[in-house]
Amino acid sequence: MRFPGALNAAEDEPNQLQVLACESDVTSGTTAQTAVDTLFAGFNDNVIVPLGNIASNPATLAQNLQTINQFRCCDVLPDLDILWSSTAEDEGVANQVPLSAPRPTTCAAINC
């Protein structure tokens, strides 16, 4: 079953975010800091809890998936764009790597 792997991976995402949060452009008052704050503040309630709800009651799949996709498309991906861009600039590779997180087709149907 693949779902427990998804929940485990999601639970590790805040640890991965911490790597980007340590970049020099992530300082108080910057858009990068706002992006980090938004991701840390919303991840549990908008990803971890809904995934747990789906695991415990599969009948709630559609409702919880909507919550996850709303957060992913309207908050996570735009915030990652900010962090990837500032990180790439810090590392001197902004002209060599994508500066935007890929959008799944699901995001086209989400109103932010």
* Residue with tokens 């970049």, as numbered in its chain: 23
Given a cut of 90, whether residue 105 has pLDDT beyond it is yes
* Residue with tokens 């789906």, as numbered in its chain: 54
Q: Please state the pTM of the whole predicted model.
A: 0.81
Q: How far apart are CA 23 and CA 10, in angstroms?
A: 22
Reported confidence tier of residue 71, pLDDT bands at 50, 70, 90? very high
Given a cut of 60, whether residue 2 has pLDDT beyond it is no
Q: Where are the alpha helices (DSSP H) in the chain?
A: 3-21, 31-43, 49-56, 61-71, 77-91
* Residue with tokens 């999601």, as numbered in its chain: 10
Q: How much is the pLDDT for 1?
A: 41
* Residue with tokens 């498309």, as numbered in its chain: 73
* Residue with tokens 């799949």, as numbered in its chain: 61
Mean pLDDT of 33-54: 91
Q: How far apart are CA 73 and CA 92, in angstroms?
A: 27
Given a cut of 90, whether residue 4 has pLDDT beyond it is no
